[in-house]
Amino acid sequence: MSDKTASSSSAVSRRTLLGGAAAAALIARPAMLTAQTADVIRFGHLTPRTGFLGPLGEFAVMAADLAVEEINAKGGVMGRKLEILKEDSVNPQTASTKAERMVERDKVSAIIGEISSAACLTIAQVAQRTKTLYINTGGNSDALRGPNCNKYMFHVESQNSMYVKSCGRSLMQQGLVRGKKWFSLTADYAFGHDLLKVAKRFMEGNGGQFVADKLVPTDLTDFSAMLLEIRNARPDLVVCNLAGNQITNFLKQYSEFGLQFQVAGFGFDTALAWAAGKDNFSGTWPVVWHHLIDTPNTKKFVQAFTAKYRKPPENQAWGDYLAVKIFADTMNELKTTDSAKMIEHWEKGAKFDVMKTREGYFRASDHQMMHEMYTVQGLGAASKNQWDIFSSSPAVPGPGESLEVIAATAEENECKFAA
Amino acid sequence: MAAREADRSLSTLFLQHLANGLLDGVYYLLIALGLSMIFSLGGIVNLAHGAFYAIGAYLTVTLGPHIGFGGALLVSPVIVALLGVIFERVLFQRFYRADPILSLLLTFGLALVAEQTLRMIFGAPPLSYSIPPWLRGQIILGDFIYSRYRATLIVIAACCVAALWLLLNRTAFGRVVRAGVQNPDMVGALGISLSPYMMMVAGIGIGLAGLAGVLLAPIYSIHPAMGQEIITPAFVVVVIGGLGSFWGVVAAALLVGLVKGATIGLGYPQWSTAVIYLMMLLVLLFRPRGLFGERIQRFE
């Protein structure tokens, strides 16, 4: 810099000086950021904002913002202001790099988010290496709670087994399992394969059988040829284990072709039902939470969210809102951000208000949140508006049962935390 | 008896797959024809073509509640075509004679801007839109049952293809366009400016993409990135059919639909999208000009 100033004429020195000042300000900024760290608590938020999971990621971000706003209005975390750094996780590799930067450079006290199970896995590796706690809010794969489980990763999102077992109960009650023929469509990638494995285990254990078991490429948008196959096979139940926009496409075209076989699926998000619309949404689907649950805290959350964003929250919003609140409440209660102390507290069975009829807790053996699930069914023409287009089952498991009956058992999905 | 019945139902199923495959190809056709026209006349590979398809769908969702699906079917493609004309005048026309990489970059950028703009205006979550009640239901011809909406869709698409063919082959306008594709310099030397023709071709091609957006809005998921979903298979159709060949694109679109449908019908749905790329690979290896591609001197 000084060399250049010396060699340039006096006419440009003023510009050089300004440039130098600007550069100095830029260099000084990170230092100013670190200086502020004492006054704020930071959380890192990572979730897909683009790609086929982007629409769900948008709900996650809106909900995380709302949670932070509410926490700061009540005095923040340990008397300090809560800040949330939000990034598009893009893909597993980028998610890992960004998680690392959040911990190393921005000194976040916790990481929250994700929808893709593959990205959960890479973030969890960073969490373990840096001893930072991570709450998974949207990755369903059983493997994350089994072979790939991790001491520093907790899950408010339910695992595939919980989705299958709660939806399976509804199907049993409707007499759609024992001795019945299933036609199954499965998204041809890791999530679909994991879900298919769990679904198969349930079906075979309860006396159902596949009349067809088809893998569907993730970029297939037109299901007409599949619908012809389904009409020809005359199954008792069509099981749709697809993901994202494919579910919406499938439901719209299923209704277009006028097929009357029962439909169910084991992986689902309410935004996809809204996108299909009341004329097209049908079938039996499991959800981790929905905006029509009749509890005071769900009503409060739905009201605050709708007031801020002019649409009700979907289940992905619930996950990220809850995770931010759980971290903030725990830190306030324990008066520390120390990961080891929080893990100990949670593993001892700390209870959380999860906006449902019963409180939830993290199961110590695999860090899965034990909480109630629901199944929803399309209302069709009886829908009141564009959002309230389904009816809900009561909470599963029922009031007299252990919350753990719908989760994978240790034999089905064993987790051994690395020391 | 049972065996004969099974035979009959199998052959009906095969016929249905055949018909359905042809229909599936029609969606690609509306997109691919525009792509091919804009490329063969202007030398621009329009990567933003899918974005205009998405805009057509979003216009339908916006206008549908006010003017009905029928109204949106007429108005939306016209609005999209006008947008196409504006983009052609302001941007595309500067790149007709330039290095193709520049127009690739331009249209790629446009596609990104369009997708983000849709996301900013309408939000990332997909929007809902349904088939209007008067187009719902099934057509039943003996054993053959098919969606009434899709049957309507193919009639509309077939009319568009026929109209376009007549326009290109039976009018003075078409003669100039075809001459411009073969030898723009000679057309210029004859004292005819291609500029207004290029504007019209861009408008028509992009309007067709908008029309596809309207037609597919009731049966596909409507989200900001929906353009990306359709643009790749449409390019495959253009490559297989051969650039600049009208019937090549038509034949390739139907062929792609058929092969895709047959793959699912034979019980291998997991290969149904891979197989069209395989077809493209074979065509590129053994007949790089495409099945019906004409020799266009300036591209060789």
Three-class DSSP category at A51: coil
Please report the pLDDT score of residue A405 as a whole number. Answer: 94
Average pLDDT on B232-260 reads: 89
Q: For residue A147, is the peptide bond before it cis, meaning its omega torsion is within 30 degrees of 0?
A: no
Angle at A302 between CA A299 and CA A308, to 5 degrees: 140
Record the tokens describing residue B113, joined without a space: 């801007």
Task: Check CB contact under 8 Å for A220 and B221.
Answer: no
Contact B201, B177 (CB under 8 A): yes
What are the phi and psi torsion angles at A391 (to 5°)?
Answer: -105, 155
Identify all chain B residues contacting A50, using CB atoms and an 8 Å cutoff.
225
CA–CA min distance B268, chain A (Å): 8
Within 8 A by CB and 6+ apart from B188, the residues are B194
Please report the pLDDT score of residue A36 as a whole number. Answer: 45
Q: Best residue in A62, A234, A252, A253 to probe B by mutation, most B CBs within 10 Å?
A: A252
pLDDT tens, chain A, 419 aa long: 333 333 334 444 444 544 544 454 444 444 444 444 568 999 999 999 887 788 899 999 999 999 999 999 999 999 999 999 999 998 999 999 999 999 999 999 999 999 999 999 999 999 999 999 999 999 999 999 999 999 999 999 999 999 999 999 999 999 999 999 999 999 988 888 889 999 999 999 999 999 999 999 988 888 988 998 999 899 999 999 998 889 999 999 999 999 999 999 998 999 999 999 999 999 999 999 999 999 999 999 999 999 999 999 999 999 999 999 999 999 999 999 999 999 999 999 999 999 999 999 999 999 999 999 999 999 988 888 999 999 999 999 999 999 999 999 999 999 999 86
Please report the pLDDT score of residue A31 as a whole number. Answer: 43
For domain A38-158+293-371, which architecture applies? 3-Layer(aba) Sandwich (3.40)
Domain boundaries, chain A: 38-158+293-371, 161-287+374-403
pLDDT, greater one: A110 or B44: A110
Identify all chain B residues contacting A256, using CB atoms and an 8 Å cutoff.
131, 136, 147, 149-150, 218-219
CA–CA min distance A257, chain B (Å): 5
Residues of chain B with pLDDT > 70, as a percent, come to: 95
Structural Rg of chain A based on CA atoms:
24
- With cut-offs at 50, 70 and 90, classify the pLDDT of residue B18: confident
Task: Check CB contact under 8 Å for A219 and B273.
Answer: yes
User: Is the pLDDT score of B116 beyond 60?
Assistant: yes
Please report the pLDDT score of residue B2 as a whole number. Answer: 54
Q: Comparing A241-245, B84-88, B164-168, which segment has the lowest mean pLDDT?
A: A241-245
Record the tokens describing residue B131, joined without a space: 């088939």
Domain boundaries, chain B: 2-299
- Of the partner residues A225, A245, A246, the one whose CB lies closest to the CB of residue B264: A225
Contact B246, B201 (CB under 8 A): no
- Quote the pTM value: 0.86
Identify all chain B residues contacting A246, using CB atoms and an 8 Å cutoff.
221
Identify all chain A residues contacting B271, using CB atoms and an 8 Å cutoff.
217
Please report the pLDDT score of residue A6 as a whole number. Answer: 37
Three-class DSSP category at A186: strand
Contact A16, A4 (CB under 8 A): yes
What is the overall mean pLDDT for chain B?
88
Residue of B nearest to A185 (CA): B269
What is the complex's ipTM, to 2 decimals?
Answer: 0.87
Identify all chain A residues contacting B222, using CB atoms and an 8 Å cutoff.
275
Q: How do residues B229-243 score in pLDDT, each as one tens digit?
A: 889 889 999 999 987
Residue of B nearest to A215 (CA): B270
B70: Cα within 13 Å, side-chain hemisphere: 3
Please report the pLDDT score of residue B209 as a whole number. Answer: 96
Q: Which residues of B touch A (CB under 8 A)?
A: 9, 13, 16-17, 20-21, 23-24, 27, 123-131, 136-138, 145, 147, 149-150, 218-223, 225, 229-230, 260-261, 264-265, 269-274
Please report the pLDDT score of residue A88 as a whole number. Answer: 95
Instruction: Give start and end residues of each alpha helix (H) in A277-376.
Output: 296-309, 315-334, 339-347
CATH number, span A161-287+374-403:
3.40.50.2300
Identify all chain B residues contacting A257, using CB atoms and an 8 Å cutoff.
138, 147
CATH of range B2-299; options 1.10.10, 1.10.3470, 2.60.40, 3.30.2010: 1.10.3470
Please report the pLDDT score of residue A148 as a whole number. Answer: 93
Q: How do residues B132-163 score in pLDDT, each as one tens digit?
A: 999 999 988 777 788 899 889 989 999 999 99
Which helix H or strand E contains A285, and what residues bound it? strand A284-287
Question: For residue B66, how many other CB atoms are within 10 A of its CB?
Answer: 9
Residue of B nearest to A269 (CA): B125
d(CA A174, CA A261): 13
